[in-house]
Structure 1
Amino acid sequence: MAILIDPPRAEAHGRRWSHLVSDTDLDELHAFARGCGIPARGFEGDHYDVPEERYGAVVAAGAEPVPARDLLRRLVASGLRMQKRRGDKGVARVRGVHLPDGLVVDVDLIASARDADPERVFAALVLVHDAAGDLAVVRSVWRDEWGAPGGGREPGESVRENAVREVEEETGLVLDGPALQPVGYERFRPVEGRGPWSDGHDLLQLFEVHLATTRPALTSAHDDTSDRRWVTRDELERLCGTTFWWPLVERVLSPPAW
């Protein structure tokens, strides 16, 4: 087992950065990062970004300096590399998620300001903000938990049409499809059983939208949700902070910054 770090050569935000990885285990990587005082917001799905000024301290703490090419090779060989498009940000890899119908999946949570590949999207959710910054949530009967409104895509629908229809069915709110801003996606990888992602439809698109009114009335025309309400950011975390998808929503609501 080894913790690896490459030279601080990647440039972003007016600084140079290194990448810190494990060639064996993400838990080992998280523990090492905590020991070095590297904040959790520096994690990018399969590595931590480390600013140049911390490089020496991280090496002194036991990270093995390697060329960037070797770091990438060993990360790929470990099976821990998170595949994503350039510019997308890996947030977390959640293993062994048990779904209500008995399926078990691993889920990659990825922040992105670009639409996911529509050919792969099987569902969409929307973070709906009102004019005061509160958020609409619904309680899913199937999942027996609170979350953003949304659901599965029907044949012939675009991803935005899917999102608009589901939000209206679950909350009564009528959204403007072009106003929906992509903020990330979840990639499902089956471990046990088969789901809609088994045939290449493996992405759940997450959108965000801001309304011009404060706490408009919420209604529902379907029985797939049992309740709905407006909540503050802190109330949202209390309701949803233990769900497997929370790290992605948290990243969207509180973007990382060194």
Structure 2
Amino acid sequence: MAILIDPPLFEAHGRRWSHLVSDTDLEELHAFARGCGLPARGFEGDHYDVPEERYAAVVAAGARPTDVRTLLRALVASGLRLPKRRGDTGVARVPDVHLPDGTVADIDLVRSGREVEPRRTFAAMAFVRDAAGDHVVVHSVRRDQWGPPGGWREAGESVRENAVRELREETGLVVAPETLVPVGYERFRVTATGPLWRPGQDLLQLYAVDLPTVRPAFGERLDGVDGCRWVSWAELEALCAGEFYWPILAAVLGPDPAGW
């Protein structure tokens, strides 16, 4: 097992950066980063970004210097690489998630201000925030859990229409499709297929929407949802922090988000 770091050659935000990876295990990588005092926000799904001024200290702590190509080959060979489009930000890979229909998948959580390919998108979810900064959660009967409103896409509807319909059906709140802001996506790497899984569709689109009023009243909702609440950030964390999607929800909605 080894922790690898490449030279600080990549320029962003007025600084130069290195990439820090493990060739075996993400937990090993996280433990090493904590020991070096690297902030959690520096993790991008499969590596930590390390500013040039920290490079020498990280090498002194035990990271093995290597060139960019060798580091990338080691990351790919480890199976830990999280592919993403240029400009997207990897948040986490959550392994072995069991879905209600029996589907099992490793799920990549990726931040992005761009929508993903509609032909690959099977569902959408909306992170809804009111004018006071509170959040909407609904309780799914089928999953027996609280979370943001969302669900499977129906035939003939666009991905945005999918998100708007699910929000209306689960909360009674109505928003215009153009108010939805793309903030990321979930990519499902399926290892066991359940009866509801759609071959060729592996993406769930994530949107955010800010409402202009404080805690607007909920309307009628479908039978699949038996609870709907406005909650504070602390309440949202208490309800959802154990769910697989929590890392990206926290990255988007948390106390110090990068912005929608």
- Indicate if the aligned counterparts of 1:123 and 1:152 stay in contact, CA closer than 8 A: yes
Divergent runs of 4+, >3 A: 194-198
Give the aligned residue type for 1:203. Answer: L
Give the aligned residue type for 1:245. Answer: Y
Give the aligned residue type for 1:242. Answer: G
In the alignment, is residue 120 of structure 1 matched against residue 133 of structure 2?
no
Distance 1:26 1:52, change over 3 A: same
In the alignment, is residue 34 of structure 1 matched against residue 34 of structure 2?
yes
2:150 is matched with 150
Distance 1:195 1:64, change over 3 A: farther
2:217 is matched with 217
How far apart in 2 are the matches of 1:161 and 1:195? 24
- Indicate if the aligned counterparts of 1:41 and 1:256 stay in contact, CA closer than 8 A: no
1:240 is matched with 240
Q: SS where residue 219 of structure 2 aligns?
A: coil
How far apart in 2 are the matches of 1:194 and 1:68? 40
Q: SS where residue 239 of structure 1 aligns?
A: helix
1:87 is matched with 87
- Indicate if the aligned counterparts of 1:124 and 1:153 stay in contact, CA closer than 8 A: yes
Deviations 1:18-46 (A, max 9, x none): 00001111111111111111111111011
How far apart in 2 are the matches of 1:253 and 1:68? 33
1:200 is matched with 200
Deviation of 1:11 after TM superposition, in Å, equals 0.9
Q: SS where residue 32 of structure 2 aligns?
A: helix
Distance 1:214 1:40, change over 3 A: same
Deviation of 1:220 after TM superposition, in Å, equals 3.2
1:134 is matched with 134
In the alignment, is residue 69 of structure 1 matched against residue 61 of structure 2?
no
How far apart in 2 are the matches of 1:197 and 1:57? 47
Distance 1:8 1:65, change over 3 A: same
In the alignment, is residue 102 of structure 1 matched against residue 102 of structure 2?
yes
Deviations 1:115-147 (A, max 9, x none): 011111100010111111111110011111110
How far apart in 2 are the matches of 1:135 and 1:103? 29
| Aligned length in residues | 257
Deviation of 1:197 after TM superposition, in Å, equals 5.3
Give the aligned residue type for 1:202. Answer: D
Alignment RMSD (CA, Å): 1.4
In the alignment, is residue 169 of structure 1 matched against residue 151 of structure 2?
no
In the superposition, the TM-score normalised over structure 2's length comes to: 0.95
How far apart in 2 are the matches of 1:41 and 1:68? 22
Deviation of 1:256 after TM superposition, in Å, equals 5.8
- Indicate if the aligned counterparts of 1:112 and 1:185 stay in contact, CA closer than 8 A: yes
Give the aligned residue type for 1:71. Answer: L
How far apart in 2 are the matches of 1:245 and 1:195? 22
Deviation of 1:194 after TM superposition, in Å, equals 3.6
Deviation of 1:100 after TM superposition, in Å, equals 2.3
Distance 1:195 1:205, change over 3 A: farther
Deviations 1:72-113 (A, max 9, x none): 111112111111100110000000112223322110000111
- Indicate if the aligned counterparts of 1:188 and 1:197 stay in contact, CA closer than 8 A: no
Q: SS where residue 199 of structure 1 aligns?
A: coil
